[in-house]
Amino acid sequence: MSEPTKPAPQEIQFRIEIDDQTAQGAYSNLAIVNHSPGEFVLDFIFMQPQQPKGKIRSRVITSPLHFKRLIAAMQENLARYEKSYGVIDVDKLPEPPKPSIMN
């Protein structure tokens, strides 16, 4: 007796919308990552050159599972980037400043 075949799972398609302001993006040249047992907080900051303070442009709060998936997606995209454009040499960049958060 043969096993019944399972139907192949259907691909779920969905739409993602973006408003005009969000589509413009926000430039960030510094990021800070913090976490608690239940979430990761990513702060994206813009630091003006030669200025002692910056401003958080965006904050993303996400679950540990999604954060791990995000890291994997970023590593995959970085590998593809470096395959196309060459390895990014981080040793040539200066150390970023050690920030302190103020409200």
Instruction: Read off the pLDDT of residues 22-57 as tens digits, 9 standing for 90 and up.
Output: 999 999 999 999 999 999 999 999 999 888 889 999
> How far is Cα of residue 73 from the mean position of the Cα atoms in its chain?
9
Instruction: Check residue 97 and give its pLDDT.
Output: 64
Classified as helix, coil or strand, 65 is helix
Alpha-carbon distance of 71 to 22, in angstroms, equals 22
pTM: 0.73
Instruction: Check residue 91 and give its pLDDT.
Output: 84
Average pLDDT score over residue span 68-84: 97
Alpha-carbon distance of 39 to 61, in angstroms, equals 7
Distances (CA, A) of 14 to 10, 21, 27, 32, 67: 13, 22, 28, 31, 21
DSSP state of 49: T
